[in-house]
Structure formats: C-alpha cells, structure tokens
Amino acid sequence: MTAAADNDLPARLLTGLGMANRAVGVLLGVLLVATVAFVLADVVMRQLGRSLGGSDELSGYGMAILASWGLAVALTERAHVRIDLVRQGLSPRGRAAIDMLAMAALTGIAVLVAYQAWPVLEKTLARGSRANTPLETPLWIPQGIWFGGWLWFAICAVLTLLAASLILARGDLARLESAIGLANEGDEALAEARGLHGEHGGGTA
C-alpha cells in the first residue's frame, strides 16, 4: 500500500497543484475584472466632476498581487516563456535534461525571490508603515498578499521539481515532458487537425 502511494505521489502532487492554481486563477480573474471596472468607473466619474479616489493606488496593489500569484498559475499551466530553439532538436533524454535544468533554475529563483521578499514585509510590520496617500493604506495588507504570492510560487516550484525528479528517477521521459516540458501548441494544433480530418473522413465513408 505504501509502495502504491509512493508510485502515485508525482500524479497527486501535480494534480493537487493544478486544482489549487485553477482556483487561484479564477480569483485572479475576478480581481482583474474588479480592478478594471473600478478604474473605468473612476475615469467616468472624473468626467462628471467627482472621483472614487485611490484608483491609481488600488490598481497598483492589484497588479502587484496579480503578478506574484499569477506566476504559480503560469507554472502549472506551463505558460512561462521558454526559448526552445535548441531543445526541439534534441533527443528525449536531451529534452529531459533541459527541462529539469529549467525547472531547477526556476525553483531556485522562486525560492530566492520569496526569501528576499520577506524582509520587505517584515520591515513594514515592524514600523506599522502606511501609504503616503489620502487612503493611508496599511502597507502590510497589500505587501502581505504580494509576499504570499511569491511564497506560494516557491512552494509550487519546489513540489513540481520534486514530482519531476521522481518521474525522472523512473525513466518515464514521456511523462516528464508532459509534466514540465513545453506546452507545444504546434502538436496540439496537429492533433486537433487530425481529429477533424478523421471525423470528416468517417462521415464520407
């Protein structure tokens, strides 16, 4: 039973992270729509001689939160930008090595940034800092959410690297590529085209 659970660990890790980040993605979408609506409403009201106030400040906080939390969502969706000029000509083993190197580098950067982001929040908490704006926002609120995004990104990266390492240890290169490799839009389009061709062909027959 323990062996079966160990064998399923990479799948459980990746599935769990994917589900969690899909929920995060929905929340980020709501935040983005709310931010845009708030800014547009403020622009319209300014034309009428009124203002909601704080749209620049609050939208800035929103963008910072979207950026930090969105990194983890992009990770599980394999949406981070990578240059595949060299990778695409390599063998499966070569692609696996490149993918693991990229994942390890990304994990290192995520952990480093999360580690360096904490002192910013710590200093704000110690000083009780507030924004130098009419809203006088307690800065620990936006900074805390922003730091949480970096911390979550680091956790997701570490767990993804762990899952990838377990898959690599089993020699399952195809599964490794589907887990941390490039999301190949060309292959997806080709598969879709073949599916459509098969449907038309079946209808003709």
pLDDT of residue 169 exceeding 70? yes
Residue-by-residue DSSP string for 90-143: S-HHHHHHHHHHHHHHHHHHHHHHHHHHHHHHHHHHHHT-B-SSTT--BTHHHH
**pTM of the entire predicted model:** 0.81
Rounded to the nearest integer, the mean pLDDT of the chain is 85
pLDDT band at 122 (very low <50, low <70, confident <90, very high): very high
Query: Do 163 and 156 touch, CB atoms closer than 8 A?
Result: no
Q: How far apart (Å, rounded) are the C-alpha atoms in residues 100 and 106?
A: 10
Mean pLDDT value of segment 126-148 = 92
| pLDDT of res. 46 | 84
Query: What digits encode the pLDDT tens for the residues 90-110?
Result: 788 888 888 899 999 999 999
Q: ∠ CA 106-109-114 to the nearest 5 degrees?
A: 125
Query: Do 134 and 115 touch, CB atoms closer than 8 A?
Result: no
pLDDT band at 190 (very low <50, low <70, confident <90, very high): very low
Domains of the chain, residue spans: 2-81+88-183
